Structure 1
Amino acid sequence: MTEPVVHRSDECLKISQVLSRIGDKWSVLVIMSLRHRSLRFSELKRGIDGISQRMLTLTLRNLERDGLVTRTVTPSIPPRVDYELTAMGHSLAEPVEALGTWAFQHIDRIAGAQARYDAGEP
């Protein structure tokens, strides 16, 4: 029998911080948008329904800081800025996509379970 993995509290905190960053809905949507090719800011904004310009800017900065996205500025008027996933970002896209697929496949069952719970059914 294998022993359970025990994480020190500082490890748990670091893992929690990473998961909260990559698990928020905007980060997930940006990662999924960039999984096939680089995109300009305006293309990302148009492709992610409901995201504000400020939230997209913050999300991209955080993903860049975490080493998941690179930002390339091409000098022109106006300057062209492209975003793309790094190798680490691409390695994250696969499990994120799998999680999204799972959610899509189970959305109706989850909604049914929530309705039963809210109605006080066992």
Structure 2
Amino acid sequence: MTTTAPPVGDHARVRRVAERTRSARLIRDSIGLLSSKWSVDVLLALGDGTRRYHELLEDLAPISEKVLTQTLRAMERDGLLVRRVHAEVPPRVEYALSPLGATMAPPLKALGSWSLAHGKRVEEARDRFDARAAARVRAA
């Protein structure tokens, strides 16, 4: 089986497509860091400083202990927060944003500003879409 090289002009296009694909994957992965229901809430809470587990649990109510634990573990795995266990009885566990996690503050603030400025328009667009869809179902 023989393969042929892409035409000369296609090399640049192949590189552009590969770079765009790589960039899109990195962006999807980064957005995925915030895709759990509670990760943004945890980032915002830790933006105010180091917190103990039960402080987070109270501040993020109605989150369950299980979900908070899962969220904190995932965020620690991703390098967004640091977990510190103090050698005391009972052990005192604290969570803080890592330097990497702290870099999420500017994009979150920008997204928050966008949401405040345009959230109503998104809701209105959804309502219009749902009304059209309902009308099509009634007409069918």
Q: Which category describes the TM-score, using the shorter chain as reference length?
A: 0.7 to 0.9
- TM superposition shift of 1:36: 2.2
Larger CA deviation: 80-89 vs 98-107: 98-107
1-structure distance, mates of 2:105, 2:17: 26
If the length of structure 1 is used for normalisation, what is the TM-score? 0.81
Identity %: 38
Structure-2 residue corresponding to 1:17: 29
SS of 2:90's equivalent? coil
For residues 13 and 107 of structure 1, the distance between their equivalents in structure 2, rounded to whole angstroms, comes to 26
Shift of 1:49: 3.3
RMSD: 2.5
Aligned to 2:77: 65
Shift of 1:102: 1.9
> Which SS does the other structure have where 1:50 is aligned?
coil
* SS across alignment from 1:46: helix
1:83 aligns with 2:89: no
- Structure-1 separation of matches of 2:87 and 2:122: 48
Which amino acid in the other structure matches residue 41 of structure 2? L
Q: Is the 8 A contact 2:36 2:71 kept in 1?
A: no
SS of 1:67's equivalent? coil
Corresponding residue for 1:113? 125
Q: Which moved more, 1:10-19 or 1:78-87?
A: 10-19
CA distance in 2, matches of 1:62, 1:94: 21
Equivalent in 21, 24, 29 of residue 41 of structure 2? 29
Q: Which runs of 5 or more structure 1 residues have no equivalent in the other structure?
A: none
- Tell me how far apart the structure 2 counterparts of residues 103 and 8 of structure 1 sit (CA, whole Å): 26
Change in Cα spacing, 1:58 to 1:106, as seen in structure 2 (3 Å) is same
Q: Which has the higher contact order (CA 8 A, sep 6+)?
A: 1
- 1:67-99: CA deviations, max 9, x gaps? 110001112222111000011110112211221
How many residue pairs match? The answer is 119
Structure 2 segments unaligned to the other structure (5+ residues):
1-12, 134-140
